[in-house]
């Protein structure tokens, strides 16, 4: 059965996650407030479709920090199994999201490019991806976020 991931926020980081997952054969559902980004992401092959995150093994929230908590809550209601984000700060997000399926994270990678058109599948290769699971984080969520089956990132740091 094909693995399925969701991405909320289809800019540089979200698009790069999508491209990397697609290269590995994952089905990727995407969501963005800008309809043109969804079209661009489909055209580039970063996502296979748009829609519900309900049956995704993992959802990556790649929105601006101010929108992460709201996006996570929406995806929780749809029934996704595990969530991580790519925000650079965690305090305000963790205080708003009290669910052990959420494992805060931050990839230590980027580019001078911006937006979906700057996305590339190798953006995270060799980069550290910091995970900061709260106490009591669900083991399955942590296992999904640890991503041992995702060859796209080589180093996870769990704090």
Across 70-79, 94-103, 117-126, the highest mean pLDDT is recorded for 117-126
pLDDT for 138 beyond 70: no
CB-CB neighbours of 36 under 10 Å: 10
Q: What is the pLDDT of residue 125?
A: 85
28 vs 141, which has greater pLDDT? 28
pLDDT for 148 beyond 50: no
Q: What is the pLDDT of residue 7?
A: 97
* CATH classification at residue 15: 3.40.50.720
**21: phi then psi, degrees, rounded to nearest 5:** -65, -40
Query: Number of folded domains in the chain?
Result: 1
pLDDT category at 114 given cuts 50, 70, 90 is confident
Mean pLDDT over the full length of the chain: 84
Structural domain of 79: 4-158
Q: Across the strands, what pairs with 30?
A: 7, 50
Q: Comparing C-alpha atoms, which of 125, 154, 128, 152 is closest to residue 58?
A: 152
Q: Comparing C-alpha atoms, which of 149, 50, 58 is closest to residue 105?
A: 58
Q: What is the pLDDT of residue 124?
A: 87
Q: Across the strands, what pairs with 6?
A: 29, 59
Enter the pTM of the model: 0.87
No. of H helices and E strands in the chain?
Answer: 5, 9
Instruction: Tell me how far apart the alpha carbons of residues 108 and 100 are, in angstroms, rounded to a whole number.
Output: 23
């Amino acid at each position: 059965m094909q693995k399925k991931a969701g991405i909320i926020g289809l800019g540089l980081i979200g698009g790069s996650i999508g491209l990397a997952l697609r290269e590995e054969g994952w089905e990727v559902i995407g969501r963005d407030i800008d309809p043109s980004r969804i079209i661009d992401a489909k055209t580039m092959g970063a996502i296979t479709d748009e829609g519900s995150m309900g049956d995704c093994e993992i959802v990556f929230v790649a929105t601006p920090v101010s929108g992460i908590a709201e996006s996570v809550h929406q995806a929780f209601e749809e029934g996704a199994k595990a969530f991580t984000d790519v925000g650079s700060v965690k305090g305000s997000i963790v205080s708003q999201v009290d669910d052990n399926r959420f494992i805060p994270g931050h990839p230590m990678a980027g580019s001078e490019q911006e937006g979906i058109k700057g996305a590339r599948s190798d953006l995270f290769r060799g980069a550290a991806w910091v995970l900061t699971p709260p106490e009591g984080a669900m083991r399955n969520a942590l296992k999904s976020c640890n991503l041992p089956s995702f060859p796209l990132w080589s180093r996870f740091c769990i704090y």
